Amino acid sequence: MSSVAVIYFSKTGNTEAMAEAVRAGMEEYEGDVEVELASVAEFDPADLTEYEGIILGSPTYYGIVAAPMKEFLDESISVHGDLSGKYGAAFASCGIEGGGSETTCLTLVKAMMVHGMTVKGFHDIGHYGPVSVGEPGADKKEECRQVGREIATIVAED
Ligand SMILES: Cc1cc2nc3c(=O)[nH]c(=O)nc-3n(C[C@H](O)[C@H](O)[C@H](O)COP(=O)(O)O)c2cc1C
């Protein structure tokens, strides 16, 4: 069975709500895909090798990812070279419109590309991954579920 890790940092719950919606979308996929939802504090980067898909989410802190997510990315050097070809996607939250959540998504996307991963873009929702200003509403949660469904489909049918 294919498996996907949804890994996030969240201090006040907005990014965590997005992560839960991504997981809900994966569970909507009617196939054999296992999903692990974990905060960066709960997930050992060395375990990334066990998943076919990796979806990362972070709040925007000063235009980029929050420090705990950056630390997680830096620690993932322990598996550098072993994630090549895995599938990835990103999502982010921020405080204000134009507050930098797209650059946060791109920071996550770039890190996954440095690992040699194949990162999913989206033509019909947030192109670099869903972005939410504050708490995600129904529309943003649906975008997150779409990401979950699409990544589940890719890893299950690859
Ligand atoms: C240290 C810090 C820096 C932040 N920097 C930004 C920023 O550059 N742009 C922005 O729009 N929001 C910024 N915010 C707001 C958060 O991105 C926003 O509240 C986010 O939804 C929090 O996610 P969380 O609830 O998952 O912790 C910042 C918040 C903190 C605590």
pLDDT in tens, 96-138: 999 999 999 999 999 999 999 999 999 999 999 999 999 999 9
The one-character DSSP state at 148 is H
Q: Name the residue with tokens 């996954």.
A: 112
Q: Rounded distance, CA 126 to CA 132, Å?
A: 10
Domain containing residue 48: CATH number: 3.40.50.360
Tell me which residue range forms the domain holding 125.
Answer: 2-157
Residue nearest to atom 8 of ligand 1 (CA): 62
C-alpha 89 – ligand 1 centre gap (Å): 20
Question: Distance from CA of residue 109 to its chain's centroid?
Answer: 9
User: Does the C-beta of 107 come closer than 6 Å to ligand 1?
Assistant: no
Q: Give me the number of domains the chain comprises.
A: 1
CA distances from 133 to 71, 87, 94, 140 (A): 24, 26, 5, 9
What is the residue type of 141? K
Q: Phi then psi for 33, rounded to 5 degrees?
A: -135, 130
C-alpha 16 – ligand 1 centre gap (Å): 13
C-alpha 124 – ligand 1 centre gap (Å): 25
pLDDT classification of 1: cutoffs 50, 70, 90: confident
Residue 158 has a pLDDT of 84
